[in-house]
Amino acid sequence: MAVRTLKDLLADGVEGRGVLVRSDLNVPLDGGQITDAGRIIASAPTIRQLVEAGAKVIVTAHLGRPKGEPDPALSLAPVAARLAEELGRNVQLAGDVVGSDALARAEGLTDGDVLLLENIRFDPRETSKDDAERAQLAAALVELVGDDGAFVSDGFGVVHRKQASVYDVAKVLPAYAGDLVATEVDVLAKITGDVEHPYAVVLGGSKVSDKLAVIEALAPKVDTLVIGGGMAFTFIKAQGSPVGDSLLQADMIDTCKDLLERFGDVIHLPHDIVVADKFAPDAQTSIAMTADGFTEGMGLDIGPGTVERFAAVLTGAKTVFWNGPSGVFEFEKFAAGTRGVAEAIAQATANGAFSVVGGGDSAAAVRALGLADEAFSHISTGGGASLEYLEGKELPGLSVLEV
């Protein structure tokens, strides 16, 4: 895929020019406090290079899922403060998306200034299915940077969305891939091309349906496909074992049977399960063997025997892709499975493997469990975008950048 990059834009010169940057600053909040600043940290280098080159930088991003209208709980105010800290300079926050405050602040920018627009999804046109409505918002965004402006797409976590700030602005302004997006594409291309074997993929999370397409795409190419998390219970049920009150997609049982018939030689399922009497951090627990199943309680993590089995396979891999936790890692009682898998992948990396953590909950788990980002070859900022890329889907936010 041939695209113009940030390096190309900087070579053309940006001093005194307005540059609109679409970043992914969708960080988790707890009581208004950022609990994982990973996406902000990853977004800062592109913004910093533009600032240092004298651009007037206007950043647009979303936070959470507001319903097309302002929601104080989803304001980007804490993000602006954390981004300013990361950049070591003031970051203005507009009081609106493309309204009078945003316009006034944009007109007042001087070389090297940074303006963050309020949550782009406060404007319903951002996610509209109507091309004309999205184009209206895109035109308003373009007005903020002026006729000689440019657009830098640096939010990999949203490139699978056909949205105004991701797709439509790139059809109007000269468009470039930021360093974060370019790196993500290079990494994912590496694990979908001629990879070094053994190649292991670890999938977790709650639903088989969310990962079905990536299973279909990768199972024929990998040596090992490890499945944990809530989605494992539909596979276990497909093998004929009861799973109590665990997460289950009854309509996917036949699909799982088919996957096991076709790819049973590479699919690895949990051998044992940590069963809880309730979904709570203080739940009473027991261990159940998946061959026998269980009729009471719910599975909230893979068991210790499974951790050992998975680790034995993963530590010997030369290429690893991981997306989705193995259990409810947010509760300490049910974090051992995800920690064990993560540590095994880190060990494989130390042994020379190329490892990719596929964003979303997996990236959050790495940090929540106190593991170093450097223990893995790459931690993606885009869970859904990573999966769709691996599935072979066209990502609108990338295709629109092609020249």
Beta strands in 271-333 (DSSP E): 272-276, 285-289, 298-302, 319-323
Q: Is the pLDDT of residue 165 over 90?
A: yes
For 203, the enclosing helix (H) or strand (E) is strand 199-203
pLDDT at 38: 87
The reply to whether omega before 198 is within 30° of 0 (cis) is yes
Question: Is pLDDT of 360 > 80?
Answer: no
Q: Which of 151, 160, 191 is nearest to 3 (CA)?
A: 151
- The whole-number pLDDT of residue 333 equals 95
Amino acid in the structure at residue 73: A
Q: Does 392 show up as a binding residue in the annotation?
A: no
pLDDT of 1 above 70: no
Measure the CA dihedral 115/117/118/124, to 10°: 180
383 pLDDT higher than 80:
no
- Mean pLDDT for 18-47 is 93
339 is in an annotated binding site: no
- Beta-carbon contacts of 374 under 8 Å, excluding residues fewer than 6 positions away, are none
Residues 6+ apart with CB under 8 A from 14: 50, 53, 54, 55, 150
Is 299 annotated as ligand-binding?
yes
φ/ψ region of 31 (left if φ > 0, alpha if ψ in -120 to 50, else beta) reads left
The two structure tokens encoding residue 185: 């594409």
Nearest to 317 by CA among 293, 360, 288, 352: 352
Take residue 254 and report the two structure tokens written for it: 């036949």
- Render pLDDT for 321-347 as a digit per residue (tens, 0 to 9): 999 999 999 999 999 999 999 999 999
Helix (H, G, I), strand (E, B) or coil at 270: coil
Give, as one character, the DSSP assignment of residue 48: H
| 193 annotated ligand-binding residue | no
Query: Annotation-wise, does 82 bind a ligand?
Result: no
Catalytic residues: 39, 207, 360, 384
pLDDT at 354: 96
On whether 65 is known to bind a ligand per the annotation, the reply is yes
**Which of 299, 317, 105 minimizes the C-alpha distance to 200?**
317
Using a cut of 0.95, tell me whether the model's pTM lies above it. no
The position carrying tokens 């261990």 is 287
pLDDT at 310 over 70: yes
Is position 211 annotated in a ligand binding site? yes
Answer whether residue 21 shows pLDDT above 90.
Answer: yes
Domains present along the chain, CATH in parentheses? 6-182 (3.40.50.1260), 190-390 (3.40.50.1260)
148 — pLDDT class (breaks 50, 70, 90): very high
- What letters, b where the CB count within 10 A reaches 16 and e where it falls short, cover 132-141? ebbbbbbebb
25 marked as part of a ligand binding site: yes
CA angle 360, 165, 155 (to 5 degrees): 35
pLDDT digits (tens, 9 = 90+) for 90-119: 999 999 999 999 999 999 999 999 999 999
Least confident of 46-50, 139-143, 259-263, 392-396: 392-396
Tokens of residue 271, six digits: 């051998």
Residue 182, helix vs strand vs coil? helix
Q: What is the mean pLDDT of residues 214-237?
A: 95
- Is 241 annotated as contributing to ligand binding? no
Does residue 2 surpass a pLDDT of 90?
no
3-class secondary structure per residue, 81-137:
HHHHHHHCCCCEECCCCCCHHHHHHHHCCCCCCEEECCCHHHCCCCCCCCHHHHHHH
Q: Which amino acid is at 220?
A: P
Q: Please tell me whether 257 is known to bind a ligand.
A: no
d(CA 126, CA 121): 6
